[in-house]
Amino acid sequence: MIQQQRIRWHDKTIKQKQFQKGNWALLYDSRFENFQGKLRTRWLGPYEVDVVFPNGTVRLLTIDDSRTPLLVNGYRLRLYQQPVLKKILKLLAWQIYILFF
């Protein structure tokens, strides 16, 4: 009875991550798991998602020219929002400026 309650509670707290081909992801670096550093980043990347396997394994590709493949567990990944380019922001600002003035 108590074991079933714990199982339900544990399953409720797990977030399902859905990665698709072409997404960018950050990889958790477990080497720094036990270090108490404020300014140390624990995330590597970004990487591009190449293939998502049914068992939760994800094949990543580096973004540089070498495109090196890397197989990791999906639980070690976080979705990365691609930055908006400054050129696009300047273009949008210029278009808004033209519309209002």
User: Is residue 6 a part of any domain in this protein?
Assistant: no
User: Is residue 52 a part of any domain in this protein?
Assistant: yes
pLDDT number for residue 77: 94
pLDDT number for residue 59: 96
pLDDT number for residue 8: 92
How confident is the model over 37-95, as pLDDT tens digits? 777 778 898 999 999 999 989 999 998 888 889 999 998 999 998 776 666 666 677 67
User: How far is residue 3's CA from residue 96's CA, in Å, rounded to a whole number?
Assistant: 59
Identify which of 59, 72, 68 has the alpha carbon closest to the alpha carbon of residue 22: 59
User: How far is residue 56's CA from residue 14's CA, in Å, rounded to a whole number?
Assistant: 14
User: Is residue 78 a part of any domain in this protein?
Assistant: yes
User: Is residue 13 a part of any domain in this protein?
Assistant: no
User: Is residue 10 a part of any domain in this protein?
Assistant: no
Please indicate, yes or no, whether the overall pTM of this predicted structure exceeds 0.85: no
Domain count, the chain: 1
CATH for 40? 2.30.30.140
User: Is residue 3 a part of any domain in this protein?
Assistant: no
